Every structure is written in structure tokens, then in C-alpha cells.
Amino acid sequence: MSKSEIRRLDNLIATAARKLEGVQRRETWALPAGEQARMAGHVGVIVAKGVRGQQRSPRAERGIDQIWNNAEDRLRAEIAAAQTAKAELIHQAAKAKTEKKTSGWW
């Protein structure tokens, strides 16, 4: 185990947690570029229909909701995976330390 690997995982967890908070507040900066582009397309459809005086666009609204839900699920899974990897690294380090102590000179 190296402390740099744990630090890298801590940074990854913190970044994903900040993005998750942004997604939960519906802030587009927290989305990847591809999802931002799809979001803009859906918003464009909603605005265009509104300007023309047509009915709402439930497909575009569902698409926007789906983008937010998928991003939230993905970020939760990313955080869980990073926390599991960090716990495994710490466990391996503790195991190696105890093995080193038990195989001592005595």
C-alpha cells in the first residue's frame, strides 16, 4: 500500500461527492459534456414548443429527468467502488504489517 494510492482514492471520492451534490441540486456543471449536450437538446425542444404555443413535450421532460437520474446513479456507484477499493488497500496494508511483525527475529 502506498499513501499516494489512498490519497488518490480520497481525491476521487471527494470529487465524485461534490459532483453528486451538484447533480442533486440540478447544476449542469456536474454533468459530463455529452450529457450536457443532450440536456441542451431537450431544453431546446421544450423552448421551441413553448415559443410556438404548442403543447408540452413530455418526451423531452422525461429525457431530462432520465439524464439527472442516470448521472446520480453513476456517481453513487463510482463513490461506492472507490470506497471499496480504499478499504481493500487499507486491509491489505494492515495484513502486510501484521505478517511482517509475526515473521520477526524472535
Domain ranges of the chain: 3-95
Q: Report which of 89, 51, 78, 80 is spatially closest to residue 43, judged by C-alpha positions.
A: 51
Phi, psi angle pair for 52, to nearest 5°: -80, -5
Structure confidence at residue 10 (pLDDT):
95
The C-alpha atoms of residue 98 and residue 64 are separated, in whole angstroms, by 52
Query: Which residues lie below 8 Å from residue 53, measured CB to CB, with a gap of 6+?
Result: none
Task: Please list the rounded mean pLDDT of every run of 10 residues in the chain (106 residues).
Answer: 85 97 96 96 93 88 96 97 94 86 69
The C-alpha atoms of residue 46 and residue 55 are separated, in whole angstroms, by 9
Structure confidence at residue 33 (pLDDT):
96
The rounded Cα 20 to chain-centroid distance in angstroms is 6
